[in-house]
Amino acid sequence: MSSRGRAAPAVEALIFDVDGTLAETEDHHRQAFNLAFSDAGIGWSWDVDLYRQLLAVTGGIERMRHYANLVGMPATDAELKHLHRAKNAAYAAFVEAGAVVLRPGIAALVEAARAASLRLAIATTTSLENVEVLIEATFGCKARRLFPVIVAGGMVARKKPAPDAYLLACQRLDLPPARCLAIEDSRNGVLAAKAARLRVVVVPSLYCRGEDVTMADLILDRSDALTLDRLVQLGSTGAGAAYVHRP
């Protein structure tokens, strides 16, 4: 690892993104959108390549609004809300059926962070209900037991890549951003964390491979390389110490 700049303040909290970071959820979201579209009798179907492009728009409602305008079928807020409720119900059914597992190394990292008395939080653009169902199904406990601070999409004015979710998470942790470390999988997430002046480590998820995430402080190519030792080491080297892990 190369290091430049002054020593940074020690990391006191880890702030996790959800989709693509805790688990590879994005294809389940895609399938849930498609189920909602077909149940509503709308002739939309999002394949993997199209969904990869649509992910540039964060938030399910915003993503559908963008697509509706793109195909010349503008939808009302009420229609979008209805579709989004149906989509989230379908997503919850997938998760409750056990379709989603944590990315390798995530459970161990959370356990190690708790053992080291680091604070844990979530900053996501997804809906709160999706966060809760995912954590209960994968960690087997209530979301707030593990992550006392949760900032979800509906709680901020602007979703990622805006800094709002990270700023609110830091505020609720009562910690300055310089003492928090963000863990992300996407360019929009990295941009959000950097705009909030956090250090950020990124492990690109399946849908985000190939995105430019070079503004991150650390880029890892595998989630099981996300060890607490490595993150704490990043805390002592300061922002701008980006390197790519190659096992």
Q: Give the residues lining the site for Mg ion (CB under 5 A).
A: 17, 19-20, 185-186, 189
Catalytic residue among 17, 164, 185, 217: 17
CA distance 41 to 234: 50
Q: CB 39: neighbour CB atoms within 10 A?
A: 13
**CB nearer to ligand XBP: pick between 17 and 24:** 17
Q: At closest approach, how far in Å is the CB of 126 from ligand XBP?
A: 4
CA distance 190 to 211: 11
CA distance 23 to 130: 12
Q: Is 185 a catalytic residue?
A: no
CA distance 187 to 55: 10
Helix, coil or strand: residue 124: coil
CA distance 186 to 198: 15
Footprint of ligand XBP (CB under 6 A): 17-20, 26, 29, 58-60, 88, 124-127, 130, 153, 160, 189
**CB nearer to ligand XBP: pick between 85 and 142:** 85
Q: Which does 223 bind (CB under 5 to 8 A by kind): Mg ion, ligand XBP, none?
A: none
**113 and 147 Cβ atoms separated by less than 8 Å:** no
Q: At closest approach, how far in Å is the CB of 98 from ligand XBP?
A: 20
Q: Which does 241 bind (CB under 5 to 8 A by kind): Mg ion, ligand XBP, none?
A: none
Q: Which does 177 bind (CB under 5 to 8 A by kind): Mg ion, ligand XBP, none?
A: none
**CB nearer to ligand XBP: pick between 60 and 241:** 60
Cis, peptide link before residue 148, omega less than 30° from 0: no
CA distance 29 to 147: 22
**40 and 30 Cβ atoms separated by less than 8 Å:** no
Q: Is 17 a catalytic residue?
A: yes
**CB nearer to ligand XBP: pick between 26 and 211:** 26
Q: At closest approach, how far in Å is the CB of 200 from ligand XBP?
A: 13
Q: At closest approach, how far in Å is the CB of 38 from Mg ion?
A: 26
